[in-house]
Chain A
């Protein structure tokens, strides 16, 4: 295993400091649904892809987090994208390539990727 003991501490400290910044003026939240169904379908790769995209873009106002099964196991891997002030959008049947398109077009560009969305407008603002 290449992971060094101090690596997890470094990740934790780095993410904690950016999390504080993001909570203050968070622009977007990407919630990757895990659960046994999601993980068996590849959710870890989707989470990894989103984390990498956020890291590479240097975005400090995008939060990547996880939650449990969203109740639509056969459409996993799934992620919910929430842009501040807009209704959340659930994306289904994801792959790392689809995650990249969603990141570029929806998170950065503000345009919902309709072909990957479960249903646009089915979610309401909380």
Chain B
């Protein structure tokens, strides 16, 4: 994956496969602490503890007959490479939350990419799903810029 918007596209594709009717994306650029936070939350079918424990394993997939599942492991790797981490929280029938933290100015952090294209193409191809996005910049000093 060339940039983070493609990772996000991939993870939201998982939300669609998990029959979510609502997907929320939150991006927070914390310039004060030099961190970039990406949070994806859906109300899909969720995962049980056993599946959740294997979700970061690249040789595990819930899809029929597939020996590999690279979406979450690659996103976790991208976070780790920039001095960050990823965590996943999921409850059956309630949905899944993915939170990743990146080093904002770390030389190995992938660029954010075209988030707009990610969201508009997914919304246009899945009008039955409600997508929402919140983008926030925490300035080093002074007021914050926020967009919901």
Binding site for B on A (CB under 8 A): 1-5, 7-8, 11-12, 14-16, 19, 32, 34-37, 39-40, 44, 47-48, 51, 64-66, 68-69, 71
* A8 near B131: Cβ-Cβ < 8 Å: yes
* B70 near A1: Cβ-Cβ < 8 Å: no
What class of interface size applies to chain B in its complex with A? 20 to 34
| Known A3-B119, A3-B120, A11-B120; contact A40-B132, beta-carbon cutoff 8 A | no
Q: Which 9 A-B pairs have the closest CB atoms?
A: A15-B127, A3-B116, A16-B127, A36-B70, A34-B13, A11-B123, A36-B71, A39-B10, A47-B121
A40 — which chain B residues lie within 8 A by C-beta? 1, 6
A–B complex contacts, Cβ < 8 Å, 11 sampled:
A3-B119, A8-B120, A11-B124, A11-B127, A15-B127, A16-B127, A51-B124, A51-B125, A66-B125, A68-B63, A69-B63
B45 — which chain A residues lie within 8 A by C-beta? none
10 more CB-based (< 8 A) A-B contacts, given A3-B120, A47-B125: A1-B115, A3-B133, A8-B133, A15-B127, A16-B127, A36-B70, A39-B13, A48-B117, A65-B125, A69-B66
A-B contact count (CB 8 A): 84
Contact of B74 with A by CB under 8 A = yes
Contact with A along B122-148 (1 / 0, CB 8 A): 111111101111010000000000011
Least distance between A109 CB and chain B CB atoms (Å): 23
Other-chain contact of B117, A12, A44, A65 (Cβ < 8 Å): A44
* Bound-state Cα–Cα, A53 to B46, Å: 35
* Bound-state Cα–Cα, A51 to B123, Å: 11
* Bound-state Cα–Cα, A36 to B72, Å: 9
Contact of B17 with A by CB under 8 A = yes
The CB with the most chain A CB atoms within 10 A, among B13, B126, B128, B148, is that of B13
